[in-house]
Structure 1
Amino acid sequence: MITVKDIFDYAVGLDLSRLAHSVYWAISNKLVQPNDDSEKLKMLQYEDEVINQLIESNMLGIGRIKLFVIETQQKDWFAFHLAENALDANRLHSNLFRDQGGRITRADRLMIPIMAFAETGKEKNLYELKKSIVQYPAYVGHAKANEHVLYRMGV
């Protein structure tokens, strides 16, 4: 059985704001309990206006940390950083690599594909990695264009 808590944890972990705030609303209004079967969530009449307010205030802090990709001075190499904004990502990159870097792109879509970590050989998506990081901004690694292998360069 998939519980309400499982759905909530999944939604928060993948930055699914509407789903996470909807489940939070249902739990906080005692319409479901965390250990209930998640099927109960389908039976509820949700108060969209209230949930929209929760989403707008970002009650759960979802989506605060984003993935930024920075072009490096090495042709076809990009640095991956998790940060609240591009300025923090760029500052960390400059401090770590003494490289001003090129274009900075917000690349949350790259959080989903499985990436191989060259040091360990393990594969995981960046959402899983994000859960284990305690302090931001954080350096994730470097990757060559169109490849799904991350290398930790000089850190």
Structure 2
Amino acid sequence: MTDQFSNLQQIRKPAITSKGGIVAAQSRRAAEIGADVLAEGGDCIDAVIATTFALGVLEPWMSGIGGGGAMVLYRAKEDRTEVIDYGMRAPQSLRVEDYPLTGAGAASDLFPWPRVKDDRNIHGPAAVAVPGVVAGMEEAHRRYAKLPWRDLVAPSIALAGDGLAVDWWTTLM
């Protein structure tokens, strides 16, 4: 197994250079995977996809296929900006009447949506949302990727096979 441990409690990270561009991520290894994709001739979207899946393995407490998000893209050659929204979705069988609003302001959760009776949209089996990360990465891949999907997820599969390295930071998280 390669040494994935942070052996120092170092908060600042040195700048890295690479062929084709650089990638910034909390995890150095995930950023290196994305930079390798750029060095191989991949589009920035290829690097985003590879980095996203690597982060899901290396930092599962912050990232991963169980979440959602949004990607704001600026395509310089076309001088065009667009957004790919891949936020979590409600299950198809959701019944709105099962989530009555209390009228007591915003929820106490991460997101400031209206408070629901008994916080049933936040805690318990009725709080499940359908993740959007994989669908969002797939849509970005469909639109702009140069490299095959399997090549972009292969580094994350290898990382997962190595297991999660537990160091001082992982323990803190």
Question: So what's the TM-score if we normalise by structure 1?
Answer: 0.23
Which of 1 and 2 has higher RCO (CA within 8 Å, sep 6+)? 2
Decide which structure has greater strand share.
1
